[in-house]
Amino acid sequence: MPKASMKMIICCPYHPLMPKQSGKIRATDRGMFMIMYFKKICRTLLSGGVLAGVFAFPSISQVGQSRNDQQPHWEKISSRNPAGKDPWGYVGFGGGGAMFYPAVSPHNPNRAMVACDMTGSFATNDGGKSWQMFNLRGPVSYFVYDPADSNTVYANSIGLYKSTDQGSTWSLLYPSPADVSGIVSQGDHANEQLVTKDSTIRKVLAFAVDPADSKSLYAVISIDEKSAFYTSKNGGITWQKERELEGKTKNIYINPGSPLNDRTVYVCGQNSIMKREKGIWKTTINPGVEELTVFSGGFDKKSNQYIIYAISGTSYFNLKKEKSGIYYTKDGGETWENRQAGLTKFTVKGAAVPEWRTIATSALHPEVVYVSYANLKVHTDTTSIGVAKSEDFGLTWKLAWKDNLTSKGAVVSANFENDWVTERFGPGWGENPFSIGVSPSNPDICYATDFGRAIKSNNGGKSWEQVYTKKKDAGGWVSRGLEVTTSYAIVFDPFDKNHVFIANTDIGLMESRDGGEGWLSATQHNGVPDAWANSTYWLEFDPKVKGRIWAVMSGTHDLPRPKMWRKSGVKDYKGGVLLSEDAGKSWKPVSQDIGDGAMTHILIDPASDPGSRTLYVCVFGKGVYKSSDGGKSWQQKNKGIEGAEPFAWRILKREKDNHLFLIVNRRSEDGSLGAGDGALYRSTDGAESWTKVTLPAGTNAPTSLAVDPENAGKLILSAWGRRASGNFSPDTGGGIFISDNDGKSWKQVMENDQHIHDITYDPRVKTFYACGFNGAAYRSEDSGNSWSRLEGYDFKWGKRVEPDPQDPAKVYIVTFGGGIWHGPAKSEEKKQSLIHEINHKEIPAGKTAIAITGATIIDGNGGEPMQNGCVVVENGKITGVGKNGKIAIPAGAEIVDGKGMSLLPGFIDSHFHLDGENGLTSLFLQHGVTSLRDPGAWIEAYDGERKSGKPVPRLFLADPHLDMFPPAYPKDAYVVRDALEAVNQVNRMADRGASVIKVYFRLPPGIIEEVCKAAHKRGLPVTGHLETTEAMEAINAGLDGIEHITSFGLSLQPQIDGEKYRQMVLADNNARKKGRYDVWNKLDLNGWRVDTLLHFLVKKGTFVSPTLGAFEYQAPAKRQKLLIDSVKLSGFNNMKALTAKLKKGGAKIVLGSHSMIEYAETGWAFQRELELFVESGISPSEAIVAATMENARFFRVADRLGSIEVGKIADLILIKGNPVDNIRAARNVMKVMLNGVWVK
């Protein structure tokens, strides 16, 4: 292996195990461990909103990130919408960036996680068909699934995070949040560091969960670089140090065959294993090996032995000359066997030992082991890369994945499914896997990741499918959600809205001609020089000439990051300017006068003659070049620019006075002042000369500049911070600055975020945008004076916000390693989600797997019922939904035959009152109501129900409703006298666990408004019973819901009549019992007032709970005809008719039973309300949605309740018959499941 090729690798500063390139074109030096002639082959192979294709991006987000010394809010790292309806989506093709550490759930092989070195992490719940991104403030270095609890998984990033809901939400486990005072972002990559109260740097180097006890945790923890082995018996609340350690630590394994109270533990280190057995520690060293690069272990039940594998040798992860081996030990390292001979036998005589890049076995089937190999010389003219597999503990091997690299070209493994990376670049680009993750329960299932692909085998390596992209039938590739590319811009063709480019690093320019649905490489066989294809830094369409494009490309990636010049400078950079006259179908280099260089930006002067455009180009290390003849000739324009190799980065023209501004990047890596400072220059003569503009004090790394077209002399500057001394010192000198006097002086307007990459402007809405490396994007509507964050976007390394050219309410965010995001340009007011049932900790979760087969699935979303369906429940959650026979049922699952029955989500009752009926909640549960809300009773009123010993539904309680004197129901009311008293009580109720606030009809709109503000600030909805307050006024004050259809009485009658009714009720609460029917008897349901109300409710999105059963009046039998109260009958019929009209008109109607009503037997009020909905004219399917999913939305728990969907809590009911055909079937409740447990 030539030393020269090895010297090309340097350690990546943000991923300790991932070497990166020194600056050469990535496509050619990926083969650094291949034979030398293959490098030549790789170069040869290389030459071989607006968008309809914006996909839902249900990213798991960090809401409310803290910066610098702010107190972090750890519990808010959560999935904003695990159902996939998050407002942020992605645009792209998937893959194209390095991925690591695939881990497969031991409970369900369809659940897996993958990390990207560019800070994003990803989860799949469907075996790789789709992926969700989540962000934990930095790159994740390992995932650990709890072997005993399928809901729990751990991930190690800047700290050790824990999720107890399969990765939907995450919280910091170590260091304990109580020990953390803040976070700082430091250095060129804005790496985040937890600030501990004792100023120690703490890292969890390795971690394991006991196979049988989720509370027993094992970790190697480093505190200020001193490592020790720790254990916890209470799930990580406290830790006990057991033994200090020296050297590197890579893995911890627990022998499940050892005694539970005295586990045998293996701690794998640099070249040793430290074993604790029967309480005694012993260290064994692998002789002759300095570095074991990767370990993998599993328990062999047949022999009752724990098997550990390890690999060594010079490799991608170990550049030193090292003895090569695939090692096997069955006794914790006391003896080792090198079992590489079964693989080296495939090499020709005299060939060098191949590279072993990673090794992986199944935790419960260690007889099966996979090795990623490279440089396997199988013929004098052929070297193979891929994955080998053994089924006998490494004694014999077969080449399960075998790409052949020859002097005549590369041949993809015959059992390998096509993908866009391989199609474009050949197999040498992705190389053999960095990491492999094997299913603990099924060793035939494994995931592998490399430089740009995620690959999976379902059959033990007999075939391999890619799981990061998918091919469109009409051509092009579509992402599955693994968005891991670094991009510089997304650019839209002004003459064709379906034509879009994404300028990327490493994979070059990508193109879509179908509105962003399918993507293909735009640098292949079309005139782009091979040596320039790696990175496209910028692209500009000529705004006046259809099909004309200029682009700047380079063989050097990731500029302006200092890692690209810290070793060898810029003199060898390749790249140039290209021109296309046919919309990118072909390209022609036009920068011969400049020579090779890393071109990073091109600017078209829009005022120039389209026939001979004036162009400006930034060349990193050469400065500025100008062309006045459309790129035919170029002249260097560096007069006044300091330095021999100016790092010209971006150039901007201000149209009102033709001034040019130039950003020159900082040379120094740590930002030391006076050591290669960056600069801002101005030219007033078309780049003939440049004058330096003074930067803000303490700032030496400008990154972008924006001019305000609305304010003469207004400049907005972004900058990168400078590294300060001290482990916990935040960077300084970065952020956003404004100048109102054309750069003579500056004022800092954003200091909290020290790493801002680009500032952009949307003239349609006069709004500026900013983005950077601290997991946030911002907008300013006041010329940059103040900035607000775009909620939902949380990818760590952002670069640029691009306004959506077709929709000013949307933006694209270009990222450094997270693809292209697409979402709302303006955030809605943040609503903190704190909704919990008061008894959520009292409801046991199911521990077994259950499959309900053969039933008709009515999913609660209103879709067509699925005949002969199957729903799988595991550990209290729904893990599978589909046709019976098409859904995998876990081994040992309880099978429930649902033939002849319908399976529905548990009913949700939005208006329940206990009314002194002991056991009423349990009775409702037996009748299918799994969640209920009492909108007005003291929480203590439910103590008896909760302590009864009987299963009860989820109790969403409000505490007392707010009323004024004299209250209608004193025992259930809290009487307030003014707004301050009301607000104070809202906060008290929120502290006590209220899930909603209810206002009663004596509160005026002014107090209701203050109540709503206070409740919304606490993340709680507000609902109201309003008979003496006009509903639209109350809703405008902030009300989220309306209780009782009668609350609309004042809105639907002439004001003079309404005021008469209002005064009557205010004088006597009981007057409404008869008076409401008088009001409703007279209403004109076809009049303008009803139409106005309907339009208003739809626009506001207000929920309405009619509670028809509370007002039902049935005419007596015919023989009692004289006893009919015709006013009551007419009034109630109008209530039903309005309910149906509101529903059909698009209002959000939900179902509340009122629990104790005249025309229903005790416990059946909910079913009676369903029947009244249908009698009113609402379809049974719509009534079921109102009783399930719509109520879940009203409760703000739709992410976990209300429908039968994978990932949701298993609250289910089995009903004999089909309520969609006959709503009365809802009374035939045969079985009830709460939290995955049958309670009936």
Q: Do 629 and 612 contact (CB within 8 A), yes or no?
A: yes
Q: For residue 32, name the pLDDT band (cuts at 50, 70, 90).
A: very low
Kindly report, residue by residue over 312-324, the tens digit of the pLDDT: 999 999 999 999 9
- The C-alpha atoms of residue 446 and residue 437 are separated, in whole angstroms, by 5
CA nearest to 680, candidates 657, 698, 661, 706: 661
Q: For residue 164, name the pLDDT band (cuts at 50, 70, 90).
A: confident
- The C-alpha atoms of residue 85 and residue 1199 are separated, in whole angstroms, by 10
- The C-alpha atoms of residue 307 and residue 543 are separated, in whole angstroms, by 65
State how beta strands 1022-1024 and 1041-1043 pair: parallel
> 1000 exposed, middle or buried (CB, 10 Å; 0-12, 13-18, 19+)?
buried
Percent of the chain with pLDDT over 70: 92
Kindly report, residue by residue over 191-247, the tens digit of the pLDDT: 999 999 899 999 999 999 999 999 999 999 999 999 999 999 999 989 999 999 998
**Is residue 924 scored above 50 in pLDDT?**
yes
| Angle formed at CA 448 by CA 97 and CA 160, multiple of 5 degrees | 75
CA nearest to 888, candidates 1206, 1185, 422: 1206
State how beta strands 894-897 and 849-857 pair: parallel
Which run of H or E residues covers position 15? none
- The C-alpha atoms of residue 179 and residue 199 are separated, in whole angstroms, by 10
**Is residue 509 scored above 70 in pLDDT?**
yes
Q: For residue 1120, name the pLDDT band (cuts at 50, 70, 90).
A: low
Given its phi and psi angles, is residue 1046 left (phi above 0), alpha (psi -120 to 50 degrees) or beta? alpha
Type of residue at 613: R
**Is residue 98 scored above 70 in pLDDT?**
yes
Angle between helices 1126-1144 and 1165-1176 (to 10 degrees): 80
CA nearest to 937, candidates 965, 898, 900, 911: 911
Q: What is the arithmetic mean of pLDDT over 959-974?
A: 93
- The C-alpha atoms of residue 215 and residue 261 are separated, in whole angstroms, by 12
CA nearest to 714, candidates 754, 678, 679, 759: 759
**Is residue 75 scored above 90 in pLDDT?**
no
Kindly report, residue by residue over 420-479, the tens digit of the pLDDT: 999 999 999 999 999 999 999 999 999 999 999 999 999 999 999 999 999 998 889 999
- CB-hemisphere CA count at 13 Å for 75? 4
- What's the confidence (pLDDT) of residue 1118? 60
Q: Do 915 and 937 contact (CB within 8 A), yes or no?
A: no
Tokens of 378: 């199988």
- The C-alpha atoms of residue 273 and residue 266 are separated, in whole angstroms, by 6
CA nearest to 358, candidates 296, 413, 412: 296
Q: Which residue has the higher pLDDT, 669 or 125?
A: 125
Q: Do 253 and 308 contact (CB within 8 A), yes or no?
A: yes
Q: For residue 65, name the pLDDT band (cuts at 50, 70, 90).
A: very low
- The C-alpha atoms of residue 858 and residue 866 are separated, in whole angstroms, by 7
Which region among 93-102, 611-620, 1025-1034 has the lowest average model confidence (pLDDT)?
A: 1025-1034
Q: What share of the chain is helix, strand, coil (3-state, %, to 5)?
A: 15, 35, 50
Q: Is 768 helix (H, G, I), strand (E, B) or coil?
A: strand
- The C-alpha atoms of residue 1133 and residue 1135 are separated, in whole angstroms, by 5
Q: How far apart are the first and last CA of the chain?
A: 69
Q: Do 827 and 811 contact (CB within 8 A), yes or no?
A: no
CA nearest to 117, candidates 813, 798, 796: 796
Q: Is 572 helix (H, G, I), strand (E, B) or coil?
A: coil
| Angle formed at CA 466 by CA 463 and CA 471, multiple of 5 degrees | 120
DSSP-derived letter for residue 724 is P
Type of residue at 421: V
Q: Please report the DSSP string for 323-386 in residue order.
A: --EEEEESSTTSS-EE--HHHHTTSPTTPPPPEEEEEEEETTEEEEEEEEEEEEEEETTEEEEE
Beta-carbon contacts of residue 1059 (< 8 Å; ≥ 6 apart): none
- What's the confidence (pLDDT) of residue 7? 24
Beta-carbon contacts of residue 609 (< 8 Å; ≥ 6 apart): none
Q: For residue 829, name the pLDDT band (cuts at 50, 70, 90).
A: low
- What's the confidence (pLDDT) of residue 42? 29
Which CATH superfamily does the domain covering 494-652 fall into? Answer: YVTN repeat-like/Quinoprotein amine dehydrogenase (2.130.10.10)
Task: Starting at the earlier edge strand, list the strands of the sheet with 465-466.
Answer: 435-438, 446-449, 454-457, 465-466
**Is residue 57 scored above 50 in pLDDT?**
no
**Is residue 43 scored above 50 in pLDDT?**
no
Q: Is 1005 helix (H, G, I), strand (E, B) or coil?
A: helix
- What's the confidence (pLDDT) of residue 1121? 62
Kindly report, residue by residue over 1036-1091, the tens digit of the pLDDT: 999 999 999 999 999 999 989 989 998 998 888 888 888 899 999 999 988 889 98
- What's the confidence (pLDDT) of residue 73? 33
CA nearest to 1039, candidates 837, 833, 1194: 1194
Type of residue at 40: K
Q: Is 257 helix (H, G, I), strand (E, B) or coil?
A: coil
Average pLDDT, the chain: 90
Q: For residue 53, name the pLDDT band (cuts at 50, 70, 90).
A: low
Torsion of CA 893, 894, 897, 902, to 10 degrees: -90
**Is residue 17 scored above 60 in pLDDT?**
no
Q: Is 838 helix (H, G, I), strand (E, B) or coil?
A: coil
Task: Starting at the earlier edge strand, list the strands of the sheet with 623-627.
Answer: 598-604, 615-620, 623-627, 635-636
| Angle formed at CA 883 by CA 870 and CA 147, multiple of 5 degrees | 50
Class of domain 54-91+694-830: mainly beta
Given its phi and psi angles, is residue 1137 left (phi above 0), alpha (psi -120 to 50 degrees) or beta? alpha
Q: What is the arithmetic mean of pLDDT over 137-164?
A: 96
Percent of the chain with pLDDT over 90: 83
State how beta strands 997-999 and 1022-1024 pair: parallel
Q: What is the arithmetic mean of pLDDT over 745-756?
A: 95
Domain boundaries defined on the chain: 3-47, 54-91+694-830, 92-471, 494-652, 907-1201
**Is residue 177 scored above 70 in pLDDT?**
yes
Type of residue at 938: W
**Is residue 69 scored above 70 in pLDDT?**
no
**Is residue 1027 scored above 90 in pLDDT?**
no
Which run of H or E residues covers position 5? helix 3-7
- What's the confidence (pLDDT) of residue 231? 98
CATH 1.10.357.10 matches 907-1201: no
- The alpha carbon dihedral of 1213, 1218, 1222, 1225 has a sign of negative
Backbone φ and ψ for 1057, nearest 5 degrees, come out as: -70, -40
- What's the confidence (pLDDT) of residue 1119? 54
Q: Do 366 and 299 contact (CB within 8 A), yes or no?
A: yes
Which run of H or E residues covers position 404? strand 398-406
Kindly report, residue by residue over 1126-1150, the tens digit of the pLDDT: 999 999 999 999 999 999 989 999 9
Q: Please report the DSSP string for 63-89 in residue order.
A: TT---TTSPP-GGGEEES-TTTT-S-E
Q: Is 391 helix (H, G, I), strand (E, B) or coil?
A: coil
- What's the confidence (pLDDT) of residue 454? 98
Tokens of 455: 């690959």
User: Where do the H-state alpha helices sit in 389-544?
Assistant: 420-425, 427-430
Beta-carbon contacts of residue 381 (< 8 Å; ≥ 6 apart): 406, 407, 408
Which CATH superfamily does the domain covering 92-471 fall into? Answer: YVTN repeat-like/Quinoprotein amine dehydrogenase (2.130.10.10)
Same fold, 92-471 and 494-652: yes
